[in-house]
Amino acid sequence: MTEKSISDKIMDCINPHALKGREGNNAVYIEDVWDCQEDARIYRIEYVSTLDGRHAIAYCRSNPWNRTEVNCGYSFSSGHVHSDGFICIGGNSGYSRNASESNLDLNTVVERARFWCLAFSVLKETGNFPQP
């Protein structure tokens, strides 16, 4: 059995039930996130992190509004999610899909991605994406 990385330990504290894996030199975590609305919609979010947990990015892999088109037809600037599921949560120069280029650590990315889930549901319900 391989030793847990720092990012694994961070994710264990955030969500011990998240699915954990590796892709190249990065850790990959998948969790289901409730949007905190009364009807409790569930999003599936994937995090890609460097093994030290210092750099991370997030993807929406499924949302309750449209399981296959995760941006629901919204532009990247409106829904803050690309058609490939990449979530714009700041800290990523040029919106690179390379986790090591992100200026945000795993803990911050998880917090912002969870906020994005709620904000995207608000966008779908009201037509406006709320600002933190």
pTM (2 d.p.): 0.92
Q: Are strands 19-23 and 42-50 parallel, antiparallel or unpaired?
A: unpaired
What is the biggest distance separating any 2 CA atoms in the chain, rounded to whole angstroms?
A: 48
Cβ-proximal residues to 39 (8 Å cutoff; 6+ apart), any chain: none
Instruction: Dump pLDDT digits (tens) for 71-95.
Output: 999 998 899 999 999 999 876 666 7
Cβ-proximal residues to 23 (8 Å cutoff; 6+ apart), any chain: 48
Task: Please give the Cα distance from 61 to 47 (Å, whole number).
Answer: 10
Cβ-proximal residues to 75 (8 Å cutoff; 6+ apart), any chain: none
- Give me the helices (H) in 1-132, please: 6-14, 76-79, 106-126
Instruction: Dump pLDDT digits (tens) for 14-56.
Output: 999 999 999 999 999 999 998 876 777 899 999 999 999 999 9
